[in-house]
Amino acid sequence: MSVHLILKGGQTPDGIADIYIEGGRIASIEYREDSAQPSREEQITRELRDRTHSSEKTIPESEVESGPHGSIPSQSDVREIDCRGKIVLPGFIDPHVHMRDMNLARKESFFSGSCAALAGGVTSFIDMPNSSPAADTAEGLLRKKEAARASLVNYGFYVGVAPGRITALAAILAERHKYNIGVVKIFFAASSANEVLSSDDEIEAVLSICASHNVPCVAHCELQSMIMSPAGLTAADHHRVRPAEAAAAALRQIIPLQRKTGVRLSIAHVSTAAELDLIRRAKREGQAVYCEATPHHLFLNADECKKSGNFAKINPPLRDERDRAAMLEALCDTTVDYIGTDHSPHTLEEKSLDYENAPSGFPGLETGSHHLIDFALQNSLPLGRLSRLLSGNAAELFGLDGRGSLKKNAIADLVIIDPKLIYTVQPDNFYSKAHYSPFSGRTLSGRVVMTIVNGVPLFEEGRMIAADTQTHKGAELFNAETGVYPPPA
247-294 pLDDT, tens digit each: 999 999 999 999 999 999 999 999 999 999 999 999 999 999 999 999
> Considering only CA atoms, which of 227, 199, 388 is closest in space to residue 293?
388
Report the pLDDT value the prediction gives residue 169, as an integer from 0 to 100. 95
Q: How confident is the model at residue 92 (pLDDT cuts 50, 70, 90)?
A: very high
Q: In whole angstroms, give the CA distance from residue 298 to residue 279.
A: 17
Report the pLDDT value the prediction gives residue 323, as an integer from 0 to 100. 98
- Choice between 246 and 77, residue whose per-residue pLDDT is larger: 246
292 φ/ψ sector (left φ>0, alpha ψ -120 to 50, else beta): beta
Q: How large a percentage of the chain has pLDDT more than 70?
A: 88
Q: In whole angstroms, give the CA distance from residue 179 to residue 172.
A: 8
Please report, for the chain, the start and end positions of each structural domain, with discontinuous segments joined by +.
5-85, 92-397
Q: How confident is the model at residue 193 (pLDDT cuts 50, 70, 90)?
A: low
Q: How confident is the model at residue 194 (pLDDT cuts 50, 70, 90)?
A: low
State pLDDT tens for residues 203-217.
Answer: 999 999 999 999 999
**Share of the chain residues as helix, strand and coil, in percent rounded to the nearest 5:** 35, 20, 40
User: Region 74-81: what's the mean pLDDT?
Assistant: 74
State pLDDT tens for residues 316-338.
Answer: 999 999 999 999 999 999 999 99
Catalytic residue among 342, 374, 413, 418: 342
**pTM score, whole prediction:** 0.90
Q: How far is CA 267 from CA 156, 188, 372, in A?
A: 19, 11, 20
Report the pLDDT value the prediction gives residue 325, as an integer from 0 to 100. 98
Q: In whole angstroms, give the CA distance from residue 363 to residue 479.
A: 27
- Find out whether 7 and 88 touch, Cβ atoms under 8 Å: yes
State pLDDT tens for residues 430-467.
Answer: 999 999 999 999 999 999 999 999 999 999 998 999 77
Q: Half-sphere exposure of residue 117, counting CA atoms within 13 Å on the CB side? A: 38
Domain spanning 92-397: which CATH class is it, in words?
Answer: alpha beta
* pLDDT above 60 for 48: no
> At a CB cut-off of 8 Å and minimum separation 6, what does 284 contact?
none
> Which of these ranges, 213-217, 313-317, 476-480, has the smallest mean pLDDT?
476-480
User: Region 56-71: what's the mean pLDDT?
Assistant: 32
Q: How many CB atoms lie within 10 A of CB 242?
A: 26
> At a CB cut-off of 8 Å and minimum separation 6, what does 405 contact?
90, 391, 392, 395
Rounded to the nearest integer, the mean pLDDT of the chain is: 90
Q: In whole angstroms, give the CA distance from residue 57 to residue 449.
A: 27
> Which of these ranges, 26-40, 112-126, 310-324, 414-428, has the smallest mean pLDDT?
26-40
> Considering only CA atoms, which of 193, 256, 200, 257 is closest in space to residue 223?
200
* pLDDT above 80 for 414: yes
* pLDDT above 90 for 372: yes
Cis peptide before 316 (omega within 30 of 0): yes
Residue 392 DSSP label: I
Q: Which helix (H) or strand (E) holds 72?
A: none
- Residue 77 a catalytic site member: no
Report the pLDDT value the prediction gives residue 198, as an integer from 0 to 100. 86
* pLDDT above 80 for 426: yes
- Find out whether 258 and 289 touch, Cβ atoms under 8 Å: yes
> Which of these ranges, 178-192, 297-311, 413-427, has the smallest mean pLDDT?
178-192
Q: How far is CA 410 from CA 49, 91, 92, in A?
A: 16, 11, 14
* pLDDT above 80 for 73: no
Name residue 307's amino acid. Answer: K
Q: In whole angstroms, give the CA distance from residue 209 to residue 202.
A: 11
Q: In whole angstroms, give the CA distance from residue 474 to residue 478.
A: 12
Q: Collapse the DSSP code of 420 into the 3-class scheme (helix H, G, I; strand E, B; otherwise coil) and give the result.
A: strand
